[in-house]
Structure 1
Amino acid sequence: MNWHMIISGLIVVVLKIVGMTFFLLYFPQIFAKSNVGFIPTENYRTACPRGWDFNQERCFLLSTSELSWKKSRDFCETEGSTLAIVNTPEKLKFLQSITGAEKYFIGLLYQHAEKRWRWINNSIFTGKYVNAPHFSKDLDLPQEIRPEILGFVLEE
């Protein structure tokens, strides 16, 4: 009898058993379905959902969908977020860096009764941090019913 072949065969069987055991133990972890994936951010105690950008302890997402302003706002609410509120120069610079030359809706709404712009958190728009010449105080249509369809920026 050839002992070398028997020992080789036993080693192969043992390796297959060990490999199958590890596969069965870790298969659910490796291929588990997860609705929410988190990635580490600048601060490891804070995480944004997968695909979101982290800046100044906030998470931002540029939508891949193009909707009206009202539908964009409603979508953000269903996601537990809001349209972005640009209230600091740092946030403006960050959003400009991730949007490039593309146009996106933010959380700004023209209030006809008051004849002024307000952020969706009801704070008054001063124009201090948003450099956008197309914001007109004598706009004919309120922002939420304008026919434009654009992408939008979500903020958590």
Structure 2
Amino acid sequence: MDRRQAAGSWLSGPRAAAESMGVDFGYRGEQLGLPREGRGSIAPVGRRIAALYLDWMLCWVIAYGLFAGGEPRALSLWTLAVYFLLAVLTVGTIGVTPGKRLLGIRVVGADGARLGFVRSALRALLVCLIVPAVVWDRDTRGLHDRLARSVEVRI
């Protein structure tokens, strides 16, 4: 392996380097029994982040209008509280938040069943803590999804 290949493998990451050596990781969601593409496949990361952003903006508007009264510190805490309630109530009942619905994403249990309130509350709490949401596995499921035994799929 020359220096250019070594630098290329370092820049592309360990997965690409392992795949170039013949390791087959499969596609995202294969271990969960999900299809490779289309309805029911794992939702793309960019779309999931955009849905979270839309939900956060909606919660920000609600918190600003109902609770914060223009106080910046209070606005941040109220926005977080509104997001938590929104996520628990909407994911626990219909499986989607408004942002997820607009972008064609649904949260389901890893077994395909509805998540329910307890698991959606755990998931929302972990998203609010941020760190579990940015630690991913090979299927691009965050730690919050793994602990709640959930997955975000395309609808």
Which category of TM-score, normalised to the shorter sequence, fits these structures? under 0.3
Q: Which structure's residues are more often strand, by fraction?
A: 1
TM-score (ref. length: structure 2): 0.26
Greater relative contact order (Cα < 8 A, sep 6+) = 1
Q: Which structure's residues are more often helix, by fraction?
A: 2
TM-score (ref. length: structure 1): 0.26
